[in-house]
Amino acid sequence: MLSYRHAKFQAPIARMRDAAASVWRAAWSAAGAYKAQSADELAFVAGDAVSFKGDIPAGAGDTHVQHRLSFAAPRPLIEEADNLVATPRGGSWMGGRLYEKYSAGRPGLRMLAGARRPVREVAEGYVIQSEHIDTFGDWMAEYLSPLSHLPNIDAPVYLPAAFARKPYVPRDAARTGIAFTPIDAPILIRKARIVRQRRVIRYWRAQDVDALRRLLRVEPAPPAPRSILYLSRYGEKSEVADRTHPNLLIEEIVRDHGGKVLRTADAGLDDYLAAARSAETVLFDHGSAAYNMIYWRPRRVVEFVSDDWWTNSFLFLANSIGVGDYTIICTDRGDLEQVRARTLAALERQLAKSP
């Protein structure tokens, strides 16, 4: 039986919450207490096409192609603001108005109505404008990635309280040397530097991968020829919404082909770093753990997805890493034997190309 946390339920609930939040945002905007980003600021244009094989997920159109989006009006990397009040839920206020383009996470009622009287002030610091404050994927794509483009970071980086205490934040603080500081109560930042999202979040580019690798101080080793690695979500509880995949079946197939299985529920950074030599062909269940491809140089990728929950983030990440052979398999289409047949066909087709 599926739990309430399953993507089948969480996806429509998330859409309903966002629709409800839009009502509150409109009301606060009309009252002069909220400044949304304009349509011009949010407008994007379609760029180069990235192709894939296999199944076409729901919502992905009707061809095996996704186009890389970029903002029509280029954004600055940094904006400066005087006397900005940053709150524990990620809101950024100036002059009694909440500014969306300076805030972490899309504003909802709890951010709009939360306490914002500062309990202390600091001379300077960075805050990061983002859309999400939930997962490791958000951390990699919306926090570390924009920070990686800064020439230097010479002041504390302030984060929403709950997000700052995720286990990967202090881990990566030690690795990068960045001082991440939780906002436990509203603070007044006299000279605030807001790090903007210059990339439409999911649409990675090669320069984003290169910059993030420099920040994380990693130079991936080349994979062993014909090596296979499967990132299995077996036993994992998602930070946002659980998904169901036939993990044990896929694990069996990978092991039968001499591959390695890495269960993400039990894996730490050392495990991902050590897996670089096993990652010529990477199979993974759609989820944040796939961002660990930043530590590898895969040549081919197979992504297992559900029609309940999919974005094209990893297709563009893999393309930016240099992957030219990408296959998607929707595991909620057909029975187990059909999933087995599609997985075997994808794996054996890819291995046939290995030297």
Measure the CA–CA gap between 151 and 149, rounded to whole angstroms.
6
- What's the pLDDT at 355? 64
Report which of 73, 70, 120, 112 is spatially closest to residue 89, judged by C-alpha positions.
112
Q: pLDDT confidence of 10, banded at 50, 70, 90? A: low
Among 166, 201, 236, identify where a domain stops: 201
In this structure, is residue 38 part of a structural domain?
A: yes
170 plus 79 within the same structural domain: yes
Model pTM? 0.92
85 plus 147 within the same structural domain: yes
CA 248 to each of CA 231, 268, 306, 351: distance values in angstroms, whole numbers, following the listed order: 12, 21, 16, 21
In this structure, is residue 206 part of a structural domain?
A: no
Kindly state the percentage of the chain with pLDDT values over 90: 79
The 10s digit of each residue's pLDDT in 169-178 is 999 999 999 9
In this structure, is residue 81 part of a structural domain?
A: yes
The 10s digit of each residue's pLDDT in 128-151 is 999 999 899 999 999 999 999 999
Q: What is the per-residue DSSP string for 273-312? A: HHGGGG-SEEEEESSGGGGGGGG---SEEEEEEBTTB--S
Question: In this structure, what are the phi and psi dihedrals at residue 230, rounded to the nearest 5 degrees?
Answer: -115, 125
Residue 106 has pLDDT above 90, yes or no: no
Strand, helix or coil for residue 353: coil
The 10s digit of each residue's pLDDT in 53-62 is 999 999 899 9
268 plus 346 within the same structural domain: yes
Residue 22 has pLDDT above 90, yes or no: no
Kindly state the percentage of the chain with pLDDT values over 70: 93
133 plus 187 within the same structural domain: yes
> Which domain range does residue 296 map to?
228-351
In this structure, is residue 61 part of a structural domain?
A: no
Among 146, 166, 201, identify where a domain stops: 201
CATH of the domain at 302: 3.40.50.360
Q: pLDDT confidence of 98, banded at 50, 70, 90? A: very high
In this structure, is residue 336 part of a structural domain?
A: yes
Q: What is the per-residue DSSP string for 232-273? A: E-TT---SS-B----HHHHHHHHHHTT-EEEETTT--HHHHH
Residue 4 has pLDDT above 60, yes or no: no
| Max mean pLDDT range (3-7, 30-34, 113-117, 125-129) | 125-129
172 plus 240 within the same structural domain: no
197 plus 235 within the same structural domain: no
| Domain count along the chain | 2
The 10s digit of each residue's pLDDT in 212-227 is 999 999 999 999 999 9
The 10s digit of each residue's pLDDT in 289-338 is 999 999 999 999 999 999 887 999 999 999 999 999 999 999 999 889 99
Among 184, 201, 218, identify where a domain stops: 201
In this structure, is residue 222 part of a structural domain?
A: no
